[in-house]
Structure 1
């Protein structure tokens, strides 16, 4: 898995190009669904925007470290194939995020 940090302009361009949404976002995940030469599965790439993540943490009065953990976990779950494109999928993904956050000693990100 690769994690890349970028600025608002680039994340907006990526969001438009790959998701057809002309706005900035906190994270975009790009799953990689092939095998490398030693037959290890590569998960993919995550592109994150520190400025937006920081602004979200302030806006929602969240601990910045916990918010970074949550957003990283969220992107990682996307690489594993989880989606939040329906009510049921969203609930499944949120439940996993909460469980992982708690295992890491962090609070429920949805409170």
Structure 2
């Protein structure tokens, strides 16, 4: 199993953030056997900064739940940096309520989802989306969380 370290910077007023050990547990599960060591920089933001970053990097209005920026380091450097994640805490909190999920479960999903993006997974087309969603569901299931794509009425 991989050893994952997360450098966390909190630029959010949320009082409902997961702790370092949970963040590392979720990303370690996502990295699995793909990398022996991994390092991720995580920035947790509020709505205004999330919207600004989403506009700057994706040309989309409003905040999104997670932004992923894979590292673009030359392979010969052999550094463990996977890249940067930015998570907008108020969006994650709102989505958890809307989707009738526990906040912890949704944070786990966002960290696994973002980490898979850093590892090169994507959901641009249907086949990629199906593969990535299946992998997310398996990883979260191994962690004891329900299917994140299950719709609750």
Tell me the distance in 2 between the aligned counterparts of 1:36 and 1:7. 34
Is 1:59 paired with 2:98? yes
Gapped regions of structure 1 (runs ≥ 5): none
Is 1:97 paired with 2:136? yes
Gapped regions of structure 2 (runs ≥ 5): 1-39
In the TM superposition, what is the alpha-carbon distance from 1:33 to its structure 2 partner? Answer: 1.8
- Match of 2:79? 40
In the TM superposition, what is the alpha-carbon distance from 1:105 to its structure 2 partner? Answer: 1.1
Aligned pairs, how many? 111
Task: List structure 1 segments (4+ residues) > 6 angstroms apart after TM superposition.
Answer: none
Tell me the distance in 1 between the aligned counterparts of 2:102 and 2:74. 37
- Match of 1:69? 108
- Match of 1:109? 148
Tell me the distance in 2 between the aligned counterparts of 1:38 and 1:27. 27
Please, what is the CA RMSD of the aligned residues? 1.6
Which of residues 106, 117, 122 is equivalent to 1:78? 117
